[in-house]
């Protein structure tokens, strides 16, 4: 028996070494952790239960039968984060560059199936050179199998991808179908075709970092939701995000103890809105002052900053926030902000996370680039996302809510449950100046008349009471009481039940 146990421990030790100490040292020299070190940091101490440690590839071509390493380049299993179950796979770059083989893919698919069956999120730590060339179509089939699992898991369990090394070719599509993608600066990149292929086909000279680095994907392409300085920070932040998310679509979002008074008033909010209607202010100040202990996990902070998305807690319960940001492009809606917010709203709705919408929007961004880029269809994505959402929806208009953008931003007409406004809110088809120039075009030559008309229009429409008279605004509230009113609104909606008409699936304007 002792000999058998000794052999078992030797096999385990060999599997844990992956591609060997020399390659582990090379990984460390790049400032990167190994696959197992990453799992240890991500999960609670001693909670990891590994699966398929001894699996090896089956390829015999190109001399591959001479090199067989236990685990085949990916570590899979389950564990806990702050006591809550999660499934995880971590690609091992020390084994064949983390390349995906048929058996490598089967290991990933296995834990994804288990995650769906048992109702727990799946986190993928990606560090792979792509498909294993020696296996040819078997490797490509493995990728397709993983893609299919991503599709089936979407909306069933949260899926998080962390790009911690190269991710090229077919490897990028699995993360792209997950709910959140995070990258590590200077050591991770994503692209369909690398710099060499780009140069050959288009004659463009570009570095891997410029083509698919963290800065590119967090500021330009919107592929990634955030980027971190190193592996350690990335894994710590994933633990933080995980605490906001439900385990599956069968579970409610988690509750945690909170040490903030739900009835807290903040009189500094009474002066948040500047007297000058064209002067910006920081909407994040309002978000932080509303949330429990000022805790806010922002998603896609560096992309389309004219809209803010992320998670807060109110009375210890997760709430998704969508907010116009007057500091950037006056908080206007455009193609990028509409896409960003629509995807976030749909995620929240899929996992029963209530949505708080903070509105200060002058309209949609005008211009040929927006129209040619399809702002109509992209704006419709956000409209569609809010309209189909059945989760509790609370909306607060702080200042401007003009035109179609008023409708889009979780208005009462899109089944908003509670729609509040501050006394500073202006709800109208457009601003007073533009409206007067259209309504009284024949008087444009008379400056005094136009000024009087503008003041009359402002008096009539630059307030929330016309909408309140119609029942489109449920209450005009004092800014200092906002946290209390919003907490009570969400508390009253905890038993909400709303179903859309039966359908196989919708046809959102992609």
- Cite the active site residues: 169-170, 404-405
What is the C-alpha separation between 478 and 268, in angstroms, rounded?
Answer: 11
Both structure tokens of 41: 């940091």
Let me know: does 338 contact 384? Beta carbons within 8 Å: no
Q: DSSP character for 300?
A: S
Pairing of strands 226-228, 49-51: unpaired
Q: Which residues pair with 160 in a beta bridge?
A: 123, 180
What is the C-alpha separation between 326 and 361, in angstroms, rounded?
Answer: 8
Let me know: does 325 contact 341? Beta carbons within 8 Å: no
CB atoms inside a 10 Å sphere around CB 325: 24
- In angstroms, the first-to-last Cα distance of the chain is 61
What is the C-alpha separation between 382 and 325, in angstroms, rounded?
Answer: 16
What is the C-alpha separation between 403 and 466, in angstroms, rounded?
Answer: 15
What is the C-alpha separation between 188 and 182, in angstroms, rounded?
Answer: 10
* Phi (first) and psi of residue 422, to 5 degrees: -80, 160
Helices (H) and strands (E) in the chain, counts: 19, 17
Q: DSSP character for 87?
A: E
**Which residues, 6 or more positions from 388, have their beta carbon under 8 angstroms from its beta carbon?**
346, 349, 500, 506, 508
What is the C-alpha separation between 122 and 156, in angstroms, rounded?
Answer: 11
Let me know: does 359 contact 324? Beta carbons within 8 Å: yes
Q: Which residues pair with 324 in a beta bridge?
A: 307
Please provide the size of the chain in residues.
510
CA dihedral 353, 356, 362, 363 (to 10 degrees): 30
In the chain, % helix, strand, coil (3-state, to 5) comes to: 45, 20, 35
């Amino acid at each position: 028996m002792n000999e058998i146990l000794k052999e078992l421990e030797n096999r385990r030790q060999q599997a844990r070494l992956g591609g060997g100490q020399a390659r582990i040292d090379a990984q460390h020299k790049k400032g990167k952790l190994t696959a197992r070190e990453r799992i240890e940091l991500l999960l609670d101490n001693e909670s990891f239960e590994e699966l398929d440690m001894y699996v090896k590839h089956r390829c015999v071509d190109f001399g591959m039968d001479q090199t067989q390493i236990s685990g085949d380049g990916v570590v899979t299993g389950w564990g806990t984060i702050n006591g809550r179950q999660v499934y995880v796979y971590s690609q091992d770059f020390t084994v064949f560059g983390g390349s995906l083989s048929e058996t490598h893919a089967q290991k990933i698919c296995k834990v994804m199936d288990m995650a769906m069956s048992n109702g727990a999120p799946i986190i993928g730590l990606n560090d792979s050179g792509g498909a294993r060339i020696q296996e040819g179509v078997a490797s490509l089939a493995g990728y397709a199998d993983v893609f299919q699992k991503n599709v089936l898991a979407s909306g069933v369990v949260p899926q998080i991808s962390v790009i911690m090394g190269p991710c090229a070719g077919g490897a990028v599509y699995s993360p792209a179908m997950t709910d959140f993608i995070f990258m590590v600066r200077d050591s991770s990149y994503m692209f369909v075709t690398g710099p060499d292929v780009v140069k050959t086909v288009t004659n463009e000279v570009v570095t891997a970092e410029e083509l698919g680095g963290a800065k590119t994907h967090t500021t330009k392409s919107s592929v990634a939701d955030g980027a971190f300085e190193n592996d350690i920070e990335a894994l710590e932040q994933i633990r933080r995000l995980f605490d906001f998310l439900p385990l599956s679509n069968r579970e409610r979002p988690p509750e945690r103890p909170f040490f903030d008074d739900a009835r807290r008033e903040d009189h500094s909010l009474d002066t948040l809105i500047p007297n000058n209607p064209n002067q910006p202010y920081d909407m994040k100040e309002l978000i932080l002052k509303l949330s429990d202990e000022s805790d806010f996990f922002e998603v896609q902070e560096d992309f389309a900053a004219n809209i803010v998305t992320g998670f807060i807690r109110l009375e210890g319960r997760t709430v998704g926030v969508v907010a116009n940001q007057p500091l950037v492009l006056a908080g206007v809606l455009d193609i990028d902000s509409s896409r960003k917010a629509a995807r976030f709203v749909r995620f929240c709705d899929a996992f029963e996370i209530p949505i708080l919408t903070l509105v200060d929007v002058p309209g949609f961004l005008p211009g040929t680039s927006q129209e040619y880029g399809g702002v109509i269809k992209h704006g419709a994505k956000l409209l569609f996302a809010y309209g189909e959402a059945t989760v509790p929806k609370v909306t607060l208009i702080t200042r401007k809510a003009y035109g179609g953008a008023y409708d889009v931003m979780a208005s009462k007409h899109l089944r908003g449950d509670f729609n509040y406004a501050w006394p500073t809110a202006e709800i109208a088809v457009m601003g007073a100046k533009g409206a007067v120039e259209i309504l009284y075009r024949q008087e444009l030559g008379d400056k005094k008349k136009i000024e009087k008309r503008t003041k009359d229009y402002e008096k009539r429409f630059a307030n929330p009471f016309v909408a309140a008279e119609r029942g489109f605004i449920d209450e005009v509230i004092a800014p200092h009481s906002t946290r209390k009113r919003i907490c009570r609104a969400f508390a009253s909606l905890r038993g909400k039940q709303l179903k859309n008409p039966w359908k196989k699936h919708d046809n959102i304007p992609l």
